[in-house]
Amino acid sequence: MDLLNTLVDKGLRRETPTRAEALAVLATSDDDLLDVVAAAGKVRRHWFGRRVKLNYLVNLKSGLCPEDCSYCSQRLGSKAEILKYTWLKPDQASEAAAAGLAGGAKRVCLVASGRGPTDRDVDRVSDTIKAIKEQNEGVEVCACLGLLSDGQAERLREAGADAYNHNLNTSESTYGDITTTHTYADRVDTVQKAHAAGLSACSGLIAGMGESDEDLVDVVFALRELDPDSVPVNFLIPFEGTPLAKEWNLTPQRCLRILAMVRFVCPDVEVRIAGGREVHLRTMQPLALHLANSIFLGDYLTSEGQAGKADLEMIADAGFEVEGTDRVTLPEHRTGGGCGSHESRGCGSHEGGGACGSSGAGADARGGAAEEPRPDLVAVRRRGAGTDLAPNA
């Protein structure tokens, strides 16, 4: 297929695909799906070999959020029966992180619900970062605390944070339909603050909120413009008790096409399969490793994931290897300081402009309608951080 040959050539050169080419990936048929995966897999292997980076989430503070993000089980007004607790103490968070690190995780992601941290919250998280780093040589720590105020990113960096996560989630044009308590511009500003402070920026999207192919391409081009070192691709988990509980718009094939498109647009960045892979990719998860070079180990913030042992078995059975702390994740041209440098702007090269974007995925007209809802696959997390039970790592 000429399209795929063109996209592989561009990916190996870090050249931006056109919007039409990115849209064409999403429009491919199920008959062409394995060809799409094989083509994107060539780009993935060129930049990352067969390594899979493992990340581990620690939910520092669960629920009770004043923001109204429609996709989130922790949102204002959520009726989802999730765990709710206030800040974990640094030793509790460090203990929770240790379980994931023992399971092979290279990066710990410290997440707290809320609009954004107070200066006291930054102090609290800084103490947690220091505790984790003191006990685990070579570990990366990423903070995800919401919207940052001036100077907070610098303080997190001084405390030892390597990265900061703040996702765009959905397009600028439709952002107000998903969230009203803050703006798309607020999110862009926080990613830029992380960059400016020397943190490795992590920013991605949520697929499955009913958006169009054009929306999906918009958000990925917008992410390319922002130049994060890692791009998490979340697949909406339709929690009962949230406004998007009825949005079951994804098939495994659709998810694979989305991941392939992200890889072609951002060839040399860490593409991470994030929340919802077990719900929507299901038995197709191993194929997704040919597209993404990073996953979360075990459970997520408020939902249960695949058992950590099963994740490791899946990686090995698919012929991949877990990336150790002795390896640098990003290609050499992107590294230089911290977890990544930003000398080459954009997720690769910056020859094409990026539109401001959206996230997600709707029903796939060419690959068949989305399957029937599977609420049985959505399990609320009842172990790990905030409980007395051992985590799923």
Per residue in 327-363, pLDDT tens? 999 999 998 644 444 333 344 433 333 332 333 333 3
Query: Catalytic annotation on 339?
Result: no
Query: Catalytic annotation on 266?
Result: no
Q: Which of 202, 255, 266, 339 is catalytic?
A: 202
In a domain, 149, yes or no: yes
In a domain, 244, yes or no: yes
In a domain, 213, yes or no: yes
- Length of the chain as a residue count: 393
pLDDT of residue 337: 44
Stated as kind and residue range, the H or E segment containing 313 is: helix 308-317
Query: Catalytic annotation on 109?
Result: yes
From residue 184, how far is each of 150, 200, 359 by CA, in Å? 18, 20, 12
Residue 107 has pLDDT above 90, yes or no: yes
Query: Catalytic annotation on 144?
Result: no
Query: Catalytic annotation on 356?
Result: no
pLDDT of residue 390: 85
Q: Which CATH number is 20's domain given?
A: 3.20.20.70
Stated as kind and residue range, the H or E segment containing 295 is: strand 294-296
In a domain, 391, yes or no: no
Q: Which of 19, 65, 255, 334 is catalytic?
A: 65
Residue 161 has pLDDT above 60, yes or no: yes
What the block records as the tokens of 345 is 């702007």
In a domain, 386, yes or no: no
In a domain, 335, yes or no: no
From residue 269, how far is each of 5, 35, 54, 164, 223 by CA, in Å? 20, 22, 15, 15, 11
- Tens digits of per-residue pLDDT, 21-75? 999 999 999 999 999 999 999 999 999 999 999 999 999 998 888 888 888 887 7
In a domain, 389, yes or no: no
Provide the number of structural domains found in the chain: 1
CB 79 within 8 A of CB 244: no
pLDDT of residue 369: 57
Residue 243 has pLDDT above 50, yes or no: yes
Cβ-based neighbours of 286, under 8 Å, separated by 6 or more: 314, 317, 318
In a domain, 309, yes or no: yes
- Domain of residue 356, residue span: 2-329+341-377
Query: Catalytic annotation on 272?
Result: yes
Q: Which of 75, 107, 142, 339 is catalytic?
A: 142
